[in-house]
């Protein structure tokens, strides 16, 4: 019997779009493509999520890799990408509120830097969450087996009583290996509702 719902954050609670954050700063074309590659698609970005590097350290490192005219973009993209609109996933807030009202525990398991605490309150139904497990706090990251075990132990959860939602197949696969029911989120909350009902979770169509 499912008692707890565990959500990923980026591309589940909101649409994480590096191209949009770059556009807000006024960069287009090849400059935008280069910034997306050299900022968001780097090992340093993963190290920030894992907590082994701080955002300011990552910004300093990556600024050295881009042309002079793009250096000013690196720090806001690393340290303040979340200051604009976060583009909530349509319908996800209503779903979370419904689950909370139905008595389910609501948890977050996210690969994110500690900056998450600056903006999490702006996400859909943020006040419904019973607990957050953020990768950078534990020097771990999905899909490491240990981060799922940390979730269970920290919040006293039984894996078989949890349902996990993530946009990445590898994260979902490992979640299942640790005992959780889990599904890959494809941006469609109506489909997610169907999958939840199939798993025995009480939600409206």
Counting residues of the chain whose pLDDT is more than 90, the rounded percentage is 99
Average pLDDT, the chain: 97
pLDDT of res. 96? 98
pLDDT for 135 equals 98
Print burial letters for 12-24: b (CB count within 10 Å at least 16), e (below 16): bbbebbbeebbee
Please tell me the distance from the alpha carbon of residue 94 to that of residue 102, in angstroms, as a whole number: 12
- Could you tell me the pLDDT band of residue 94, with boundaries at 50, 70 and 90? very high
Looking at residue 198, what is its pLDDT?
Answer: 97
Beta bridge partners of 20: none
| pLDDT at residue 84, as a whole number | 87
Q: 38-73: per-residue pLDDT in tens?
A: 999 999 999 999 999 999 999 999 999 999 999 999
Section 142-148 average pLDDT: 98
The residue with tokens 């771990």 is 140
Q: b or e along 182-201 (b: 16 or more beta carbons within 10 Å of the residue's beta carbon)?
A: bbbbeeebeebbebbeeeeb
In DSSP terms, which residues pair with 107 in a beta bridge? 6, 131
Nearest-angstrom CA–CA distance, 163 and 154: 17
Which structure tokens are listed for 22? 């770059």
Q: Is 90 exceeded by the pLDDT of residue 8?
A: yes
Q: Where along the chain do its domains lie?
A: 4-15+87-198, 18-83
What's the whole-number mean pLDDT along residues 126-152?
98
Mean pLDDT, residues 142-171 taken together: 98
pLDDT computed for residue 46 by the predictor: 96
Domain 4-15+87-198 = CATH 3.40.50.2020: no
- Contact criterion met (CB below 8 Å) for 53 and 153: no
- 3-class DSSP string for 103-167: CCEEEEEECCCCCHHHHHHHCCCHHHCCEEEEHHHHCCCCCCHHHHHHHHHHHCCCHHHEEEEEC
Cα-based distances in Å from 167 to 16, 20, 46, 66, 126 = 11, 19, 17, 30, 19
pLDDT of residue 166 exceeding 90, the answer is yes
Are the CB atoms for 141 and 46 separated by under 8 Å?
Answer: yes
């Amino acid at each position: 019997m499912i008692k707890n719902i565990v959500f990923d954050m980026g591309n589940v609670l909101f649409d994480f779009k590096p191209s949009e954050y770059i556009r807000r700063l006024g960069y287009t074309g090849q400059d935008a493509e280069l910034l997306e590659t050299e900022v968001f698609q780097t090992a340093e970005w993963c190290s920030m999520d894992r907590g082994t590097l701080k955002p300011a350290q990552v910004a300093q490192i990556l600024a050295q890799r881009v042309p002079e005219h793009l250096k000013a973009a690196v720090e806001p993209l690393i340290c303040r990408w979340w200051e604009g609109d976060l583009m909530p996933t349509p319908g996800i807030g209503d779903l979370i509120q419904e689950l909370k009202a139905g008595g389910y525990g609501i948890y977050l398991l996210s690969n994110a830097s500690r900056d998450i605490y600056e903006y999490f309150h702006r996400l859909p139904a943020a006040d419904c969450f019973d607990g957050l497990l953020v990768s950078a706090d534990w020097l771990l990251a999905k899909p490491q087996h240990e981060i799922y075990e940390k979730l269970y132990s920290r919040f006293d959860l039984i894996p078989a009583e949890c349902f996990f939602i993530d946009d990445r197949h590898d994260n979902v696969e490992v979640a299942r290996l640790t005992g959780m029911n889990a599904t890959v989120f494809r941006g469609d909350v109506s489909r997610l509702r169907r999958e939840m009902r199939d798993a025995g979770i009480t939600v409206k169509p």
